[in-house]
Each structure stands twice: as C-alpha cells, then as structure tokens.
Amino acid sequence: MGGRLMAVGIAALALGAVTLTPAGATSGVRDAASSGQAPRVSTAAATPASATTPGAATRASAAAAARLQLSVHPVSDATVSAMDATFTNTSVDTVVNTVNHHLHAIGSSACTSSEAATAPSTPTVAADSTYCWDEGDATTQYWSPQGMTSSGDADGDGLWGTDRVVVSGWGSANTSPAMGRLALINETAGSANKDGYRWVLPVIPTDGGTDFARFGSHMGGMVWWGDKLLITASLDGDAHHNAIYVFSTQHIYQANTDASWIGHDGSETSADGYQYFWPAIGSYSVDASCNYTDHSDGRLPCFDGLSMDRSSSPYTLVANEWVSSGATDATSRIWRYQLAPAGDAMPLAVNSSGTAAPLDVYDTDIIGIQGTLDQTENGEKVIYTADALGSPQARGLPWRVPLPATGAQTAAHVSTSTGGSATGQGTWAQHTEGMTYMSDQSRAWVQTEWAADKDGKWPTSDPVRQRIVFDLPVSDLRAALTG
C-alpha cells in the first residue's frame, strides 16, 4: 500500500541531483490551510495604504534580483518512461471532451444574485461572458479557486489541437493534507462540450515513476507554454519548497478506480476519486524558504501568480509575489524569466551556469496582487492587475501599471485605476485570483475565489456564492483604466 495517501506522508520528488520536498504538510499559505483559516487576504482594512497614490513602478535592486535565480531539476528520462509503461496515457482533448461538470451563464437559474454581483462594475462584463460553477464547486469549503491559464498561453492561435481550453487551479482549504486540483474547461466554439469542465489531479511521481503522491501546492500561479504547464508551489517549512513545478501534456494518465486514496497499488491506480491525474516532470527552485513577513530589500519573494507575456521577444514568464493588503510597510515585486522554445525538455531558458536568471525585477506599491496580465502598448510595457481586498463583498482595485523602460530606474508614467485616476477605485470584481490572456481574441479571463459567509468567515455552513469566471476584451480594461 505504499502508494496510498494514508501511507505517503510528505512525498519526495527526486529531481536530478536534488530532492525537493513538494508543497505538503506544513502550510503557511492561503486557501490550503489545515488550520481552517480564511483565504489569504487581509480583513483588517478595506483599503490598503498603498492604494491612495502608488505612483510609478521602479526597478528593484541587484540584491533583489540575485535571490530569484532558479535551479532546474528535471525528472529523469527513466522515471518518465516508467510512468508511461505503468499508467494509461490520455490527452487534454480526451479530458475536455468527456466533461462531467458545467459552467453556467450568470443569467441562468443555476446562478445566484450574489454571483452576478461579484462581477466588475467598471469595466462592465457581458452576462454571456460571466459564469458560475456547478453548485458543489460554488459552495465547497474544502477547495478554493486560485491560478488560471489557458490554451491562449500554450499557442498563439488560442487552441491546443482543435480545443480552446481554460485551466482553473484550485487549492485545498480547511482540510489536511494540502492538495491541488485542476479544472480543464472546454471553451471550443461549436463544441457540444463548451463550458463543460473536468477535474484533473496534479501529483508527484515516486518510486522511480511507478507510483505517485499528492501535490500540495496552493495553485496560486499557472502558465501553459507549449506542452508544458508551470505551477507555483510555495509553502513554509521546507528548504527548496519555494518552486515552480512543471507538468507535460504528453504525460496525463487515467485512473482505474474512483477510490479516495492516491497512488498505484497492485493492479489499481487511484487519484482520490478523480478519473485523471497529471504527474510533474520537473521543477525550478530558489535557494531557500520565503517568509511572508519579511519586507526587506533582499528578501526572497514568495511565488504567487504567474502569467505569460507574448508581447515580449522572446516570450517571457512573469511572476509576482503575494503581500497581504494589510501590510503598510511593503512593496510587491514583479519579475520575469525568458521562456525556452516550445518543445524543449524544460520550459525556461537557462544561462551558462544552468540556472534561470530573472530578466527584470520591478517594485510597485500596489500590494494584494493575485495575478497579472502583461502587454506592450505604444512601445511601453504595462501590467494589468488588481489589489484583491479582503472585506466581505469588497470590490478589488484595478490597476494599469507602466513598467520602467530598458535602462531606466523608474517608469515614465504612474499607475492608474478606473478613469485614469492615480488613486485606487473599488470597481473590479470581488476577491479575484488568477488572470490569463487569450491573445488571438485579445480577451482576458479572470476568476474569483470566495465562498465565505456574509461576515467573511470561513469555513461556514452558510456560504455566500461569489465564485465566478468571466472574460472581457482587454480594450475594455484599458479604456476603463486610462480614462
């Protein structure tokens, strides 16, 4: 029974010469809280101090950049071959065309008025571009939506094969041990499965690829590039925990039992009741654990959101840290890595030392960032983001953040909110998380996370349904934030 969840403890993923302890038993992150705490947002204040006049983004120090060197740890070819030989391989196409759950248009009887009220007020979002989840996922106290990516990241035409897919990452909440899961959503025009979704369980390969164990990430950030899916893993307590794990669409497998344990035991393969599971094929790590309360210049940021910038050449992976919106003495950092050519064994470009070095590191006074959308507009790099406030029913503060030009220390323009104001305006959706960009359609996709009670308490037996998925033209977002 070595593969069963009850006997696994903290699984170890052997990645080349280094053994990484995957995100697991000791949790200091939001929404993966075994202590039953609320989602990781500040309820101390409706408006953080930084929202008033965040000013212009600046380039971070060399000391900050030095802490963001990533070591690469691919799983061995032998391990991958063992997985393929042991388990039944499947595909993204199969998953999104065997859906067993559905998103529902916000005007349907399946959605509530509280879900409709969660959408942004400025810019407005069309009702047929706003969705609620199936009831069980809309109200569960054991899972919470976090990062988001799509086939728009994977390929410039917005499709993976013939499928348009949005991927929603959820972290476990109010339960132990911590886990993550993925909703693969079919958004293919004309498909009979459009707006349907199916859950897939990300896992860690063990025993040389013949077994697997839970992947405990809070799922805060995700990017799908070529056949690789990158997911942040950031939990306190273990060396090298602060990582980005890598999964390949060529290695998704099918379980043969719907039992509630995880792993391979004799002739049985189980993924905690899910039909499909997805083992990591490598990771990247920094040199130490992060600390959410460390606001020093040379701190090691705690990885949270990920996004992809297709307007850069070559394309880049953009990461951000999470800082509580109650922290008045902190800045938030945003940085980027060069992506390797699609199809490479690992998705980030490395230097002659074999490490992935950050290309740029920026400081902004906008905190509470949960995700970003990255563009080049009129020759200037900009980031769209939001400060996701933690008070019940509080709308977030949307921001357009110009970045410093090459060789410049400070951005040429200040950050702006609704109407082009330099003061944060609470017009964004309530409690947003990840964002992703469908470049072929020039549309942003966003999801929200809360299902707390009316007072913001979590867990609860009386949840207010506020989990939605919505998409809107980036031109609408730009117009709303530039006036």
Please tell me the distance from the alpha carbon of residue 365 to that of residue 385, in angstroms, as a whole number.
12
22: confidence class by pLDDT, cuts 50, 70, 90: very low
SS3 283: strand
Residues 75-119: tens digit of each pLDDT: 999 999 999 999 999 999 999 999 999 999 999 999 999 999 999
Tell me: pLDDT of 46 over 70. Answer: no
In single-letter form, the type of residue at position 170 comes to: W
Would you state the pLDDT for residue 41?
A: 40
CA atoms of 59 and 65, how far apart (whole Å): 10
pLDDT of residue 326: 66
Cα(65)–Cα(349) distance, rounded to whole angstroms? 16
Torsion angle defined by CA atoms of residues 50, 56, 57 and 63, in that order, rounded to the nearest 10 degrees: -90
Write down the pLDDT at residue 289. 79
Closest alpha carbon to 433 in 467, 456, 479 = 467
Are 27 and 294 in contact by the 8 Å Cβ rule? The answer is no
The predicted pLDDT at position 312 comes to 95
pLDDT at 39: 45
pTM: 0.91
* pLDDT of 234: 63
Q: How far apart are CA 195 and CA 105, in angstroms?
A: 9
What's the whole-number mean pLDDT along residues 400-429? 96
Helices (H), 265-374: none
Say how far apart CA 20 and CA 365 lie, in whole Å. Answer: 33
Q: For residues 429 and 164, what is the distance between their CA atoms, to the nearest angstrom?
A: 24
Tokens encoding 379: 């020759």
Mean pLDDT, the chain, rounded, equals 88
Nearest one of 125, 49, 170 to 427, comparing CA atoms: 125
Say what the pLDDT of residue 358 is: 95
pLDDT tens-digit readout, 418-450: 999 999 999 999 999 999 999 999 999 999 999
- The residues facing 163 across adjacent strands are 160
In order of 6, 229, 308, the CA distances from 311 in angstroms are 46, 20, 9
Is 385:372 a contact under the CB 8 Å cutoff? yes
Reply yes or no on whether the pLDDT at 1 is more than 90: no
Q: What is the pLDDT of residue 390?
A: 86
Q: State how far the Cα of 47 lies from the Cα of 118, in Å rounded to an integer.
A: 18
pLDDT band at 324 (very low <50, low <70, confident <90, very high): confident
Could you tell me the CA-to-CA distances from 22 to 32, 233, 297 in Å, in that order? 14, 7, 27
Whether residue 10 is predicted with pLDDT greater than 80 in this model: the reply is: no
Residue with tokens 């998704």: 252
pLDDT-based confidence at residue 12 (cuts at 50, 70, 90): very low
Burial letters 30-46, b for 16+ CB under 10 A, else e = bbbbeeeebbbbbbeee
Q: Report the pLDDT value the prediction gives residue 216, as an integer from 0 to 100.
A: 85
Question: SS3 of 305, please?
Answer: strand
The answer for residues whose C-beta is within 8 angstroms of residue 383's C-beta and 6 or more apart is 318, 334, 372, 373, 374, 375, 400, 401, 403
Across 117-121, 160-164, 233-237, least confident range: 233-237
Q: What is the mean pLDDT of residues 330-359?
A: 95
pLDDT for residue 32 is more than 70? no
pLDDT tens digits for 206-226?
A: 999 999 999 988 899 999 999
Query: Among residues 153, 146, 294, which one has the least CA distance to residue 232?
Result: 146
What mean pLDDT do residues 118-122 have?
98
Give tens-digit pLDDT for 254-313.
Answer: 999 999 999 999 999 999 999 999 999 999 998 887 877 888 888 887 889 999 999 999
State the pLDDT at residue 287.
82
C-beta neighbour count of 197 within 10 angstroms = 27
C-alpha 372/C-alpha 280 separation (Å) is 24
